[in-house]
Every structure is written in structure tokens, then in C-alpha cells.
Amino acid sequence: MRNRSPAHQLNIDDSNRNVNTARQKKHAALLAQLEFEQLESERIAARAAVARTKMLLLRLEADEEDSGDLIDCDNASHLSKTDKLEKRTVTLGDIEPVPESSPTTAPPPPPTACSEINSASPRNTDSNMSESTLADAIVLAIKTASKETSKIVNEPSKTLADLPSFCGNVSEWIAFRSVYNDTSGLFSNVQNVARIRKALSGEARETCEALIYTETDPLQIMRVLERRFGDLTP
């Protein structure tokens, strides 16, 4: 076996010492990490336990509040029923019993002179009522007839309300304008504008399309039509 030099042996010892030191450091680090992880896990478990306990407390408080509300509702309902019963009892107690009527009834009052006259002559009463009813019916019929007559006189017929249709043809223009001039005085401005709008079509309607929906004076619409299709005034 070859002898080692002192220097070589020293190097080997230093190397072994370094390895042992590294192992000791790693072992210490692992121990420290293990302790830290244990503490951390204990801390997490403690937090979870605290959270769970708080949740149980909150749930218990909520159940107690619900139970209290139910008790209050039951008490209120019971008190309400009790109050109603007491009020009904008081009301019934205030009502005095109705005395029993005696079997003998009081004699009817003697008939007066007026009642004797009326009972003696029922035919005269019926006759007076019939004459009054007939007179009222005649007056009502006269008033109704007067209203209907005034309505017929004041309201122009539908035949007069409708103007001849006018689409731009010269022959139609003559009839349209003549009928309008003859009947415009029987209607209001609004009605005359509506009559013109209903009668116009085609080229005639295009001539005054805007006016028939915005103008309230029918004379302005007729002037526009006259400028377009001719004025027949002699």
C-alpha cells in the first residue's frame, strides 16, 4: 500500500470536512423549512377553524332572529284575534235586548177626512194622473221633434258635403269649382279644407299637396288651384 504524503492527507481531511459542513447546512435548512411549513399549516388550519366558527355563530344568530320574528308574528296575530274578540264582546254587550212585543196590537188611527175623500174617489185620482202623464208625453214629443227638425235644417246632407272628384281634368275642374262655390258657405273652414282634401287626386292633389294638410283657409287652396287650372270667374 502506497504511503500518502501529509499534504495529500490534509486535502482529503479538508474535503471531508467541507462535505460534512454542506450536509449539516442542508440538514439545518430542511429542518427550518419543515418547521416553517408546520407553523404555516397550523396557521392556515387555525384560520379555517376561526372562519368556520364565525360562520356557525352567524348562522345561529340568523336562526335566532328568524325564530324571534316568528314568535313576534304569532304574538301579534294572537293579540289581534284577542282584540277583535274583546271588541266584539264589548259591541255585543252594548246592544240592549229588544223587548218582546205584546201580543195585542194598537188599533189603527181613525181615517181622516182627506183619506176618506181619496178612498171614496179612486177613479178621480187615476184620471188626474193619466191627464198629467199624457200632457208630459205631448210636451216631450214636441221638444224631440223640434230638436230633430233643427238638426236636419242646420246640418247639411252628406250629398252636399261631398265635392265632385278632381284629378286635374278641365271638365272635372269646372264641376268641382262650381259645386264648391255653391256650397262652401254651408260649412266651416275646417270642413271645407277636409272636403277639398277628400275630392282631390292625381295632378290636382300634387299641386297643393302641402296646403291641404297645413292650410286652414280653404280660399288659399282654391287660389292655388285656380292659378294652375284656370280661373272661371267671368
Say what the pLDDT of residue 195 is: 95
- With a cut of 50, say whether residue 103 has pLDDT above it: no
Expressed as residue numbers, the domain containing 165 is 158-229
Cβ distance 221 to 211 under 8 Å?
yes
DSSP tag of 209: T
For the segment 136-149, the average pLDDT, to the nearest whole number, is: 70
For the segment 14-26, the average pLDDT, to the nearest whole number, is: 84
For the segment 180-195, the average pLDDT, to the nearest whole number, is: 93
Q: Is residue 130 part of a domain?
A: no
Residue with cell 392556515: 44
Confidence at 14, pLDDT banded by 50, 70, 90: confident
Q: Is residue 22 part of a domain?
A: yes
Q: Is residue 38 part of a domain?
A: yes
Best-predicted range by mean pLDDT (51-60, 72-81, 177-186)? 177-186
Best-predicted range by mean pLDDT (2-6, 86-90, 117-121, 188-192)? 188-192
Q: Is residue 8 part of a domain?
A: no
Number of domains in the chain: 2
In SS3 terms, 154-181 reads as HCCCHHHHCCCCECCCHHHHHHHHHHHH
**Which residues partner with 200 through β-bridges?**
166
Question: Which of 92, 119, 137 delimits the end of a domain?
Answer: 92
Q: Is residue 43 part of a domain?
A: yes
Distance of alpha carbon 205 from alpha carbon 202, whole angstroms: 5
Say what the pLDDT of residue 117 is: 46
Question: Which of 92, 107, 142 delimits the end of a domain?
Answer: 92
Of 21-35, 44-58, 112-126, 215-229, the least confident: 112-126
Q: Is residue 163 part of a domain?
A: yes
Distance of alpha carbon 203 from alpha carbon 166, whole angstroms: 9
